[in-house]
Amino acid sequence: MTYQASPARYEDMVYRRAGRSGLKLPAISLGLWQNFGGTRDYPGAFAILGRAFDAGITHFDLANNYGPPPGSAEELFGKVMAHDFKPYRDEIIVSSKAGYHMWEGPYGEWGSRKSLIASCEQSLKRLGLDYVDVFYSHRYDPNTPLDETMGALATLVQQGKALYVGISNYPEAETREAHRILSDLGVKPILHQPSYSALNRWIETDRTIDACGELGIGIIAFSPLAQGVLSGKYNSGDTKGSRGTSNNPFLDAAKIKPETLAAVDGMAEIARSRGQTLPQLALAWVLRRPEVTSALIGVRTLEQLDDNIGALSNLDFTAEELAAIDKACAGGLTDGKPRW
């Protein structure tokens, strides 16, 4: 049966401008980092992707190495684009990135011109697209001149292979310099994609979020649920299928501090007082900042997707609620600042 998008898909979604660009993104975007690789079949993937688009989620975030295995998320999404989403291409924002390890040899990672342009070409083939809407430098490369990395991004726009460019995991000083270089090239970065959650506030302490606000760069926050910690599953002990029990090098459930689990309990109590689930509270907290364009979710089930979207029904906080969240999280904060 041919997929037909819901005619009501734009009725309830909130859209926010990406910095000072003309591009608007849904307040909730869907990432395909770990749940849409070789372990996910087409029907299961499309059930989530189609439900997301029907709910007004127009932005789907990928990278060259998303899977597992690397590249498989783009391949799977490319099949969805060709089979189901093709009539809606102009309603959809597809983003990809390059910077982390993708292939062997000296050009398969980091930020050289060779690596970024070759990677974008490979991503377009896997996706079956002529262009991506946003292409990111996935991480700052301390060993490549920044003007080379940013020059490669500008070239991709000039070649029509990307409509916009962004950066991800860049600290404050490097964010400012990337913006300066790209502005001189006539291609301003419109998005910065850092990790950001109530338990991981490095972009606040580093002042990266302030720099983005000043420069007109929108923030799209990844891991707003702190890689599942703010789902509450690690507190309940129901971790079946969760990221902490998967082969995820970024999270080891056994190493979650007791202070962090206590912070989650405190957040859950505040969520109940607001009539929200814990994930909804965590997403609303990220979206409270005007610099934040979108919160990037990763879900395994339709139930998780629907619950996350439900955050949009209550995005306002009182000063007392924000103070209570700060107090609850004080002992459980983690240092998520990127390391090279």
Classified as helix, coil or strand, 33 is coil
Instruction: Classify strands 132-137 and 162-168 as parallel, antiparallel or unpaired.
Output: parallel
Q: Tell me, what's the pLDDT at 298?
A: 96
Classified as helix, coil or strand, 320 is helix
Question: Cα–Cα distance between 66 and 36 in angstroms, integer?
Answer: 8
Q: Tell me, what's the pLDDT at 1?
A: 76
Task: Yes or no: say if 96 and 127 are a contact pair by the CB < 8 Å rule.
Answer: yes
What residues pair up with 134 in beta bridges, in sequence order? 95, 164
Q: Tell me, what's the pLDDT at 236?
A: 62
Measured N-to-C along each axis, helices 258-273 and 319-329 cross at an angle, to the nearest 10 degrees, of 160
Q: What are phi and psi of 250, to 5 degrees?
A: -90, -10
On the question of a cis peptide bond just before residue 68, with omega within 30 degrees of 0, the verdict is yes
Distance of CA 26 to the CA centre of its chain: 12
Q: Tell me, what's the pLDDT at 88?
A: 98
Question: Cα–Cα distance between 90 and 81 in angstroms, integer?
Answer: 11
Question: Cα–Cα distance between 29 and 37 in angstroms, integer?
Answer: 18
Question: Cα–Cα distance between 36 and 63 in angstroms, integer?
Answer: 12
Residue 288 buriedness (CB in 10 A; 0-12 / 13-18 / 19+): middle
Of the candidates 257, 28, 300, the residue with the CA atom closest to the CA atom of residue 265? 257
Task: Provide the terminal-to-terminal Cα distance of the chain, rounded to the nearest Å.
Answer: 48
pLDDT tens digits for the chain (340 residues)?
Answer: 789 999 999 999 999 999 999 999 999 999 999 889 888 999 999 999 999 999 999 999 999 999 999 999 999 999 999 999 999 999 999 999 999 999 999 999 999 999 999 999 999 999 999 999 999 999 999 999 999 999 999 999 999 999 999 999 999 999 999 999 999 999 999 999 999 999 999 999 999 999 999 999 999 999 999 999 999 988 865 555 554 444 443 355 557 889 999 999 999 999 999 999 999 999 999 999 999 999 999 999 999 999 999 999 999 999 999 999 999 999 999 888 888 7
Buried b / exposed e over 162-181, threshold 16 CB at 10 Å, is bbbbbbbbbbbebbbebbeb
Q: Which CATH architecture has domain 15-233+242-251+279-315?
A: Alpha-Beta Barrel (3.20)
Q: Tell me, what's the pLDDT at 287?
A: 98
* CA angle 243–244–247, rounded 5-degree value: 70
Give 239-244's long-range contacts (Cβ < 8 A, gap of 24+): 241/300, 243/34
Q: What are phi and psi of 77, to 5 degrees?
A: -65, -35
Maximum distance among all Cα pairs of the chain, rounded to whole angstroms: 53
Task: Yes or no: say if 36 and 66 are a contact pair by the CB < 8 Å rule.
Answer: yes
- Residue identified by tokens 């916009």 is 164
For residue 141, give every residue at least 6 positions away whose Cβ sits within 8 Å of its Cβ, in sequence order, or none.
Answer: 99, 110, 111, 112, 149
Instruction: Classify strands 132-137 and 28-31 as parallel, antiparallel or unpaired.
Output: unpaired
Q: For 242-287, give the DSSP string.
A: -GGGSS-TT--GGG--HHHHHHHHHHHHHHHHTT--HHHHHHHHHH
Q: Tell me, what's the pLDDT at 216?
A: 98
Dig out the tokens for 152 from the structure: 């490669």
